[in-house]
Amino acid sequence: MKTLAVSVLLCAMVVLSSATARRSLVRRSRGCPAGWTRIQNRCYRFVPIAHSWSKSEKNCLTMGGHLASVHNADQYHAIQRMITEITHGFPNAWLGGTDCQEEGTWLWTDGTAFDYRHCGTFNNGWWNQHCLQMNYGDHKCWDDLKCSTKLPSVCARNLI
């Protein structure tokens, strides 16, 4: 009888802990943390403090993300709107693109495919421009820039 009672109690604990775990997973998958903006299926955050590209990436990593990758025009324009709501302008800012490993082969720091380019030309000026900025020039294009330049940045992370 005691064995049956212990077995029932143990099963009840497993069921309850499993249900609690499922509820917490559902809660964590609802959206973005405070200070982040949901755009499509990711969370984004504009960081107004100007740092080099590598320090900006490191800062994003401390917040659970990477410098932002962009995969379509709608996503890019939504990121621009987010920044404009905060700054009332279009400041140049770091994104997570780099071709520092091989000139002309662009990669995103989050490991996703570099499958979209917004207007602009990547000219590797002075043979040392390997990091990607947004909102460059009159048309608010992308441009390669020297990585040590200090700019604000855009971080991205997965939904929680």
Token digits of residue 153 = 């940045």
The predicted-structure confidence for 11-26, as pLDDT tens digits, reads as follows 433 333 333 333 333 3
- Of 3.40.1390.10, 3.40.50.300, 3.40.50.12780, 3.10.100.10, the CATH number of 32-158 is 3.10.100.10
- Residue 105: name the closest of 92, 124, 119 by CA: 124
Domain boundaries, the chain: 1-30, 32-158
Quick one: how far is CA 92 from the chain centroid? 16
- Residue 106: name the closest of 140, 74, 70 by CA: 70
- Calculate the alpha carbon distances from 69 to 75, 111, 149 in Å: 10, 9, 19
pTM: 0.79
The predicted-structure confidence for 26-48, as pLDDT tens digits, reads as follows 334 479 999 999 999 999 999 99
| Contact (Cβ atoms closer than 8 angstroms) between residue 143 and residue 122 | yes
